[in-house]
Amino acid sequence: MTDLDVEAGGAGPSHRSLEVGVAAAMAVVALIGIYGSIAVGIGWAADGPRAGFFPFYVSLIVLIASIVNMVQALLHRVDGAVFASWSQLRQVLSVLIPTIIYVALVPYAGIYVMSGILITFFMAWFGRYPWLIALAVGIAVPVLAFFTFEMWFLVPLPKGPLETMLGY
């Protein structure tokens, strides 16, 4: 992990392109908002302003502000600043991708099993812990969570085939 840190500041996507991208994404969201507001009516009905009235103007302001932000980002001189180096982005993805898989599988395998897998995998692969230690933490945390939530606070969490097998 430490040898990756040294490389920080290497090549990567420019900060400017990210600024423009975020502003563009917001403008798109604003346009969707404007479209949706017009669909339900932005005018004045017998009982006052219609449902789209408020979101329409809010979206309009987002659109204007996004255009300002985009112009400001484009006018900003190119100083070669990167938003993050490729190795840093690889670090971000190395936590984001497992998280996405985790979230996608929770409805099917249950949150406890998936949490155990996530923790074990992360510790063993990313933290280079021995598998046995990783597995121990990976089992201990979900078991602790199970007792805290299901038993003491009576908050049911999503369960999968394993819990059904155990009779919960």
Partner 1 sequence: MLQDIAYLFHGFAVVAQPFNFVLMVVGIVLGVIVGVLPGLGGANGIAILLPLTFSMSPTSAIIMLSCIYWGALFGGAITSILFNIPGEPWSVATTFDGYPMAQKGKAGEALTAAFTSSFVGALFAVIVITLVAPLVASFALEFGPPEIFAVYFLAFCSFVGLSKEPPAKTIASMMLGFGLGAVGLDQMTGQLRLTFGFEQMLNGFDFLIAVIGLFGIGEILLTMEEGLSFRGAAAKLNMKVVLHTWKELPRYWLLSLRSCLIGCWMGISPAGATPASFMSYGIATRMSKRGHLFGTGEIEGVVAPETAAHAAGTSALLPMISLGVPGSPTAAVLLGGLLIWGLQPGPLLFTEQKDFVWGLIASMYMGNLVGLIIVLTCVPLFASILRIPFSVIAPIILVFCAIGAYTVHNNTFDVVMMVVFGVVGYLMKKTNYPLAPMVLAIVLGDKAEEAFRQGLLSSQGSLDVFWSSPLVGTIMALGLIALFWPLISRGISFVRGHEPGPMTAE
Which residues between 128 and 147 bind partner 1 (CB under 8 A)?
Answer: 128-129, 137, 141-142, 145
Task: Assess 51 for contact with partner 1 (CB under 8 A).
Answer: yes
Number of residues located near partner 1, criterion CB under 8 A: 77
Which residues between 92 and 111 bind partner 1 (CB under 8 A)?
Answer: 92, 94-96, 99-100, 102-104, 106-107, 111
Give least dist CB 14 to partner 1, A: 12
Which residues between 18 and 37 bind partner 1 (CB under 8 A)?
Answer: 18-19, 22-23, 26, 29-30, 32-33, 36-37
Which residues between 54 and 93 bind partner 1 (CB under 8 A)?
Answer: 54-55, 58-59, 61-62, 65-66, 68-69, 72, 83-84, 88-89, 91-92
Q: Which helix (H) or strand (E) holds 45?
A: strand 44-45
Burial class (CB in 10 A: 0-12, 13-18, 19+), 154: exposed
Indicate left, alpha or beta for 157 from its phi (over 0: left) and psi (-120 to 50: alpha).
Answer: beta
Q: Which of 153, 165, 166, 167 binds partner 1 (CB under 8 A)?
A: 153
Q: What are phi and psi of 27, to 5 degrees?
A: -60, -40
Helix or strand or coil: residue 78?
coil
Give least dist CB 162 to partner 1, A: 16
d(CA 134, CA 157): 23
What do you get for the CA distance between the two ends of the chain, in Å? 40
Task: Assess 113 for contact with partner 1 (CB under 8 A).
Answer: no
